[in-house]
A and B are shown apart, each in its own frame.
Chain A
Amino acid sequence: MTVGSGLQYIGLFRVQGPLVFVKGVKDVGFGEIAEVVTLEGKTRLGRVLSISDELAIIEVFEGTVGLSAINTKVRFLGRPFEYRVSAEEVLGRVFDGLGRPLDGGPPPIAGKARNINGMPVNPVARAYPQDFIQTGISAIDAMNSLVRGQKLPIFSGSGLPHAHFAAQIVRQSSLLEAGKKFAIVFAAMGTKHEEVQFFRKDFEESGSLKKVVMFLNLADDPSIERLITPRIALTVAEYLAFEENMHVLVILTDMTNYCEALREVAASKGEIPSRKGYPGYLYSDLASIYERAGRITNIGGSITQIPILTMPDDDITHPIPDLTGYITEGQIVLDRGLFQKGIYPPINVLPSLSRLMSDGIGADRTREDHQNLSSQLYAFYAQAKRVERLASIIGEEDLTARDRLFLKFSNEFERKFINQGAYENRTIFETLDRGWELAMILPTRDFTRVQPEEIKKYGSKAAVDADPGYGDPENGKPEHENEAGKWKD
């Protein structure tokens, strides 16, 4: 009757939400995996959440619907949730949220079994991420640079184009990696079919499908399964990065659904909640996912994470974006206002941040003026936003001449710098030059963050080269509008 070192028990003491309680168990370990076998002989996977002499509480990933108290069998497997990985068996494949094949292929069996919870990385062993990744997107490359081994989430809202945006990052940054060992691990948690289809198609069109591994828990799949999906995905990513020396880009979408599943379990267990009903350990739990990014000394590969989450009600102070921001190395914030203005990608740079930027850019990485120019653009744009608020109160006519320049800057900055086509891939130099052109809208004595030599070297050049097509922003249409519309189709 034993499987592994475990035992089989018949009958449940209690069923509550996604949890089942089994009495009289022996020799069961904390965090161990259990198979819950229904009357019909179907097996569902679960995990031991707490264990005492007489009682085991198990969360059942596929839900408890239809489980009977008398006839359900529970078999403990004597080990934590493990997944076998080998590069040949996973690349180019599609699996479900628990890692079972969805593409008709065989389950991976060749590799070593790995605990999907991973292990904490000894901070001494981490190599500090410093390699700039050019995404070809100005708002990221110039203002919130991404580096290899960073975890940089996208804070989105319902209906905002995060999928197109994430796909563009993947597409354009993987271009640069061509020839290098590169892989994409994609984990969907409660994601709509449509969105997953979109990503798939995009990977296919850009020819990267063979380098992608997909783990899909869709919107209509069991919610508790979502607690496992990102962990399997990251186990695969760690294998590819740290044993196969690949540069791995991990997309996790949507972390909000993940957190809701966590809340569901915590509530069923009757735990004391902290904010908005989320458990007090939400921070630590999220960290156990997000911290599985980075580089390790003397190992060639890297894991770069781009988690996507939707902010409930666009609220950045909601516990999910809030705690995420406290763990990740920055965030890219999408903005409904910009979206409604027709700006793509609708990145609000002010609340966005890349914490690893300063060490990933500069003379020998991007360009000497990068840091200062970026800081200057931030200062101008922040000031411009204040002027916009003022203008909305007193009217544009009553603004000072200087303030009107700020208004012009803000307008052009959004339309010519942030805004770009979904297939427009700008080099970092194009991006920085464009930044200078826009900065030069303002008089040089307002340049508090850049050096006079930099203005001379890059700014004056930009002013001379300034595209004559950049007309008056109030009138003429921005020239990139058509391209910007592209992501829609």
Chain B
Amino acid sequence: MERKEAKDRNAIISEINGPVIKVRHARSFSMNEMVVIGEEELLGEVIEIFGDQATVQVYEDTTGLKPGLFVQGQGLPLFAELGPGIVGHIFDGTQKPLSAMYRDSGPFIRVGKTAVALDRDKAWYFKPQILSGTKIMGGQMIGVVQETDRIAHRVMIPPNLNGRLMEIVPEGLYTVAEKIAAIEDEKGEVHEIKLYQKWPVRQIRPYQKRILPDKPLFTGQRVIDFFFPLAKGGTAAIPGGFGTGKTITQHQLSKWADANIIVYIGCGERGNEMAGVLLDFPNLPDPITGRPLIERTIFIANTSDMAVAAREASIYTGITIAEYYRDMGYHVALMADSTSRWAEALREIAGRLEEMPAEEGFPAYLATRLAQFYERAGVVITHGGETGSVSIIGAVSPPGSDFSEPVTQHTKRYVSTFWALDKELAGARYFPAVNYLNSYSGYVEAVAQWWQRKAGLDWVKLRNQALTILKEDARLMNIVKLIGEDALPDDQKVVFHGAQLIKENFLQQSAFDPIDTYSAAEKQVVMLQIIMKFIERMQDTVVAHRIPVYRIMELPILEELGRMKVRYKGDDLEPFKKILNRLEEQFDDLFKRET
């Protein structure tokens, strides 16, 4: 896939309409080929061919382009450069290196040619792990580079190349541009191998086979891990109106999820949010290794003021990078904030092509594109024989917070976990504003065993007990709304207060609380056990012994229940055990006093 020689300069612009241009004399172009436009070399991609004309979407601002300017095919589709120098860096939607651009041309983004994605001058210490002469298969690892302190970058040969390793360089410093190995393929052709490879972003990277997800992507967020878990290699959507917490949730997952690599795509969102993570991540330690989070994170930023077509591409650039690290045997979690902006970019381009729209102006292929994207998630056995996974978490921004709109609806068809964010909860500053009635997870069974081992108890049962109370409470709330809480019979009051405890003391979790921002699995279990114990005793006291609920609501232990999440980290479970003991004591006392 090397670049074609500069060809005829026949192809010229015939029309410009926003980010879409029409090109004449474009017979040599192929579909999805990359093109560069004019002297400034704006980047574009062929998205339609008819006769000797082609339509091109331009990844940069087209102001000032004129009919008659020449357009040059590049002979290869939009690709990503995959090699060391990605982790810890930030790129735009077409993988232009934003830090290098800032260094070279200042705080504002200019159109035209920039530095390439991977720094050509930086030397990496490469350690070969295979001898020359060996037979070798596509995707196989030939050596490693320590990319960051925590990421060993496994250098692989491109997936579609099989043959014999003819030579490999000795251990030492090499730039990504240097040859490190040569492979003779089955036809006897010799291929040069470098530390990096190119891959067309719209094409899924191959693997040996898919396997079913069976481990949670543990996030330290209770409502997610305990009630609506995501599995490694699974898919999740977070829909919610503006300000309901999609971005914060994705930031939380980027910080705390137990993945090896995080790919964070800011797709048509705010510049300041990217500035925020770029400020935070170099200083935040990862809860498992203690290394700065930036050492496992890759940012793709196409903020809302950047070119709209590149926003469309950003999703593909991100997922291709994610697959590449998956192929090394890593667990990768990809966040896309927001897939709605990506869909809108599709809509805008489709509109300029005057395609017949389906619902709400979106093109008819919206659902197909969404499916293609989410289907790139999964747990796989790689060509190199490793197990790796890509999990996708996509934010959805429904217009007017109305979940019946096309992007939310189509997304729902292809994701297994759905974290529905609720405007009213967010308004009350109840976070995470996950509506536990509309949310669901298709991975409960898949991750049950993991929890079982972790907690040594029937996790599914505990989860279901709590959920039952919450659902029952939701039903009661409709009545309470009409007649007030006081009019409920005592056994229902128990449900009402029990649900309150689960909501306030377990589910509610502030991303900004220094302790509660991350909740270890053991802490999650013990907290819910305490709360469920309280509810059980309350039920017993009220129903069997007719002690009024308000007497129970005066127990001092309640204050401890309210504060346990922000007080104890959970690395030591002793304080929780003490709370549990005091809880039992206080109920026993109450019981003695009252009967």
Contact = CB atoms under 8 A, between A and B. Distances in A.
Residue among B101, B344, B508 with most chain A CB within 10 A: B344
Interface stretch (B199-207, B264-272, B468-476): B264-272
A291 B243 contact: no
A119 to B, nearest CB: 4
Contact of A126 (B16, B271, B482): B271
Contacts of B101: 122, 124
Interface string B393-415: 00001011110000000000000
A311 B18 CA distance: 29
A86 interface: no
B66 A272 contact: no
Interface residues of A, number: 83
Contact of B504 (A317, A400, A448): A448
B427 A351 contact: yes
Contact of B272 (A292, A297, A353, A356): A356
Interface in A209-256: 242
A52 B308 contact: no
B288 interface: no
Contact of A382 (B271, B274, B278, B427): B427
A299 B108 CA distance: 13
A488 interface: no
A121 interface: yes
Interface stretch (A199-207, A273-281, A425-433): A273-281
Contacts of B487: 398
Given A128-B275, A273-B361, A400-B484, A29 B399 contact: no
A241 to B, nearest CB: 12
Contacts of A382: 427-430
Nearest to B279: A128
Interface string B246-257: 000000000000
A375 B504 CA distance: 13
Contact of B243 (A319, A323, A325): A325
A88 B429 CA distance: 46
A322 B399 contact: yes
A469 interface: no
B544 interface: no
Contacts of A326: 242, 397
B64 A317 contact: no
B65 A123 contact: no
B272 A294 contact: yes
A80 interface: yes
Interface in A366-413: 371, 374-375, 378-379, 382-383, 386, 389-390, 393-394, 398-400, 403
Nearest to B243: A353
A52 B429 contact: no
A92 interface: no
Interface in B218-254: 241-243
B17 interface: yes
A117 interface: yes
Given A52-B22, A124-B102, A297-B107, A319 B399 contact: yes
Given A281-B348, A292-B305, A120 B484 contact: no
B275 A280 contact: no
A378 B425 CA distance: 11
A394 B487 CA distance: 11
Nearest to B14: A53
A123 B271 contact: yes
B286 interface: no
B15 A122 contact: no
Interface string A306-325: 00000000000111001101
- Chain B interface residue count: which class? 35 or more
Nearest to A281: B348
B485 interface: yes
A175 interface: no
Contacts of B566: 451
A329 interface: yes
B102 A329 contact: no
Contact of A119 (B17, B109, B241, B304): B109
B401 A127 contact: no
Contacts of B62: 30-31
Contacts of B242: 322, 325-326
Interface string B79-104: 00000000000100000001101100
A265 to B, nearest CB: 13
Contact of B102 (A125, A242, A283, A284): A125
A482 interface: no
Interface string A111-152: 000010111111111111100000000000000000001000
A403 B484 contact: yes
Contacts of A50: 15-18
Interface string B104-131: 0011111000000000000000000000
A122 B66 contact: no
B428 A379 contact: yes
Contacts of B344: 280-281, 283-284
B548 interface: no
Given A29-B66, A51-B66, A327-B304, A123 B90 contact: yes
B98 A122 contact: yes
B481 A390 contact: yes
B360 interface: yes
Contacts of B348: 280-281, 284
Given A120-B303, A272-B351, A394-B482, A29 B275 contact: no
Contacts of B241: 322, 325
Given A120-B108, A280-B347, A126 B558 contact: no
A445 B429 contact: no
Nearest to A242: B107
Residue among B65, B242, B558, B559 with most chain A CB within 10 A: B242
B43 interface: no
B64 A32 contact: yes
Interface string A284-297: 10011001101011
Contact of A280 (B301, B361, B558): B361
B64 A31 contact: yes
A195 interface: no
A103 interface: no
A366 B42 CA distance: 47
A29 B63 contact: yes
A398 B484 contact: yes
Interface string B415-455: 00000000100011110000000000000000000000000
A274 B505 CA distance: 42
Interface string B49-75: 000000000000111111110000000
A126 B272 contact: yes
A464 B14 CA distance: 77
Nearest to B89: A124
B361 to A, nearest CB: 4
A400 B485 contact: yes
A350 interface: yes
Interface string B267-303: 0101110111011000000000000000000000101
Nearest to A32: B64
- Which 9 A-B pairs rank lowest in CB-CB distance, beginning with the nearest? A382-B428, A317-B400, A287-B304, A125-B107, A52-B15, A31-B63, A325-B242, A291-B305, A123-B274
16 contacts: A31-B63, A50-B16, A52-B15, A52-B67, A120-B108, A125-B102, A126-B271, A284-B308, A317-B402, A322-B241, A322-B399, A322-B400, A325-B242, A378-B429, A382-B429, A400-B486
Interface of B: 14-18, 22, 61-68, 90, 98-99, 101-102, 106-110, 241-243, 266, 268, 270-272, 274-276, 278-279, 301, 303-308, 341, 344, 347-348, 351, 354, 357, 360-361, 397, 399-402, 423, 427-430, 480-487, 504-505, 508, 510, 512, 558-559, 562-563, 566
Given A325-B241, A325-B242, A452-B559, 17 more contacts: A53-B67, A120-B109, A123-B301, A124-B102, A128-B272, A272-B351, A275-B399, A283-B268, A288-B304, A291-B303, A292-B305, A294-B275, A329-B270, A358-B512, A375-B510, A379-B428, A394-B484
